Structure 1
Amino acid sequence: MTKAIILYHSFSGNTKETAELIRENLLDSYGIESDLFDMFHIINPPDLEEYDAIFFGTFTWDQGATPDEVKEFVADLGYKPEPVFVFGTGDTQFGGDDLFCLAAEKLARFYNSPLPPLKIEQSPRGRQEAAVSEWVTKVVKEMIN
């Protein structure tokens, strides 16, 4: 049975909401169960070798920066698991397109993600729900190949 883990860090709740929507899509559309963890509250990182797919979610902070909590979690892992799929939330109002979800782009590059990161403007509600579903479909296809 395929199993995924979704690790995220959220400040305003938007990244958490996106993580929950990804989890819902994985289960409802593909029958893939997933564990959901906030990186900020994990004391000992889980064994990522138990999962067929690893999701990292982050918001972008302060002129395109990755939050320190996400950097610390990645450092605590001490290795690069595979495959990693990245999603991020951001706000084009503060920094425009150049900085929008830049933390997610950095994580995707760091982990050599097989897909570009999912980028959500603030909350995944409304028309962005379809973007989440489409991205999850691409992830599942990548997992199967």
Structure 2
Amino acid sequence: MSRFLLLYASSTGNTELMAEAMEDYLQNHGHDVVVKTFDFDQIETEELLDYDAVFIGTYTWDDGDLPFEVEDFYDELDDVDLSGKLFGVFGSADSFYDTYGGAIDLMYEQLERRGATLLSEKLKVDLTPNKKDILQCEEFAQQIVNKASGRIEV
């Protein structure tokens, strides 16, 4: 089975709920999942290379900005070559703002610039995930599993 890193930031708990849904899904399917949060865990960008795939979740601050706790990590990505490394980017957002999920887009674009292989779709959920959103989180996790095992194209 595959080894995944699930790394996220959550202010209101919405992105955390998404991450928990993915973690449960992956573990229930026999995968090794390491969970870290930007708030509490030391994260070195080089350690991203130690996993079969990495999930990065972030909420969007204000009108499209990265959260403070994610900014240093985002900048440090400039120092690592992620060529061929598989990533999925997800997070909660608020459709009230003009820029919906801007931080999710910023993270996706930064990983793309660093050569990462990305799922073609980012997963954005408006505010608190409902049952349908949780199913989308599980489907998102399965897409990463499929790609990591070579079963689908990105």
TM-score (norm 1): 0.87
Q: Which residue of 1 aligns with 2:115?
A: none
Partner Cα distance (1:130, 1:49) in 2: 28
Q: Is it true that 1:109 corresponds to 2:104 in the alignment? A: no
Q: Which residue of 2 aligns with 1:91?
A: 94
Q: Which residue of 2 aligns with 1:56?
A: 56
The alpha-carbon deviation at position 45 of structure 1 amounts to: 2.3
SS, match of residue 54 in structure 1: strand
Paired amino acid for 1:79: V
Q: Provide the aligned C-alpha RMSD in A.
A: 1.8
Q: Which residue of 2 aligns with 1:41?
A: 40
The alpha-carbon deviation at position 17 of structure 1 amounts to: 1.4
Equivalent residues of 1:2, 1:52 under 8 A apart:
yes
Of 108, 121, 137, 2:142 maps to 137
Partner Cα distance (2:41, 2:12) in 1: 19
The runs of at least 4 consecutive aligned structure 1 residues that moved more than 4 Å come to none
Q: 1:44 to 1:103 in 2, by over 3 A?
A: closer
Unmatched 5+ stretches in structure 2: 113-117
Matched residue count: 141
Unmatched 5+ stretches in structure 1: none
Deviations 1:71-101 (A, max 9, x none): 2123345314321211010111233xxx221
6-15 vs 77-86, greater mean Cα deviation = 77-86
Paired amino acid for 2:63: Q
Equivalent residues of 2:74, 2:110 under 8 A apart:
no
Q: Which residue of 2 aligns with 1:118?
A: 123
